[in-house]
Amino acid sequence: MVIMGKGRTYEPETCAGAIRNALAKSAGKATAEELFNVVKRAGHWTDDNIWQEMLSHTVNLPPSYHHYSGVTPAQRFLYLREDGNYEMYDPAWHGHFQMGKRAV
């Protein structure tokens, strides 16, 4: 959706984009609650929408591939660490995943 007016266009930020930006501003690592709170203040999304976007964009969470099948592997950018924190997914560092499981 593009909003136009007075010679300017504005593309509203998506919830996934807000999550990505929030994580980037937190030096690439944050708890789920920290991400949620930053995104909640940044936009108009419902609580459920924010949590679902975080789930659907997590690369190493097998149930999300079944429940959110419309999100392609290329769109997934969150990596859930063993300590429960999120960080930006980097295939060179974290390895490759297929359907939420590490591909060997």
Per residue of the chain (104 residues), give pLDDT as tens: 555 556 666 667 899 999 999 999 998 899 999 999 999 999 999 999 999 999 999 999 999 999 999 999 999 999 999 999 999 999 999 999 999 999 97
Q: Which two tokens stand for residue 41?
A: 């203040």
Range of the domain at 76: 28-102
> Which residues have CB under 8 Å from 103's CB, separation 6+?
95, 96, 97
Please check whether residue 42 lies inside any domain of the structure: yes
- Contact (CB, 8 A) for 48 and 55: no
Does residue 43 lie in a domain region?
yes
User: Does some domain include residue 12?
Assistant: no
Distance between CA atoms of 66 and 100, rounded to whole angstroms?
10
Q: Is residue 13 assigned to a domain?
A: no
pTM listed for this prediction: 0.85
Count of the separate structural domains present in the chain: 1
